[in-house]
Amino acid sequence: MNRFILIAVLLALFATTTSESQDTESAAIMSGTIMEAMVVTITPASDIIWGVEDPQTDEEWQVLDDAAATLMESFEATRKGGGGPNDDAWASEAGFQVYIDQEMVALEQARAAIEARDLDGLFDAGGELYTPCEECHIDYNPAVSGEEF
């Protein structure tokens, strides 16, 4: 019986530590502004997804999965706002949150396609990702929409 209590306590401590670590990572991502996150993290990771050609090796597929995971983490962090002059106002708007929700769905599709090694599915998911990204730029920062970013 004591062994089961010890295991339960250890699992609870691990869950708390893991949660705190994830919160710290999210805070580190958004210690700056949403625009900084876009330039430093989101744009390069998106370019990997959108620039996919014909991955052949596990390593090439892993690069794509890492990019999708980075985007998911970054979008979750931007959902909370940032240090820019408009960041918290944007994050408090339902429309901004809807764009993030749509991006997350597209990224879940991308990761499923990556896991299945389904290039056509990944192309489709990339297209699904593009629309909310572009619409969010138009609504919240039109200076960076389309080719200008």
97-108 b/e (C-beta count within 10 Å ≥ 16 → b): eebbebbbebbe
Give yes or no for a contact between 132 and 52, defined as CB atoms under 8 angstroms apart: no
Task: Please state, in angstroms and rounded to a whole number, the distance separating the CA atoms of residues 119 and 20.
Answer: 36
Residue whose C-alpha is closest to residue 102's, from 77, 73, 136: 136
The CATH class of 32-148 is mainly alpha
Residue spans of the domains in the chain: they are 1-31, 32-148
pTM for the complete prediction?
0.77
Question: Could you give the CA distance from residue 111 to residue 89 in angstroms, rounded to a whole number?
Answer: 30
Phi, psi (deg, nearest 5) at residue 32: -105, -140
Residue 80: CA count within 13 A, CB half-sphere: 13
Question: Would you state the pLDDT for residue 145?
Answer: 62
Confidence (pLDDT) at 146: 59
Between 58-78 and 43-50, two packed helices, what is the crossing angle to 10 degrees? 140
Instruction: Encode the chain (149 residues) as per-residue pLDDT tens digits.
Output: 433 333 333 334 334 434 444 444 444 455 689 999 999 999 999 999 999 999 999 999 999 999 999 999 999 999 999 999 999 999 999 999 999 999 999 999 999 999 999 999 999 999 999 999 999 999 998 877 655 43
Contact status, residue 119 vs residue 55, Cβ threshold 8 Å:
yes
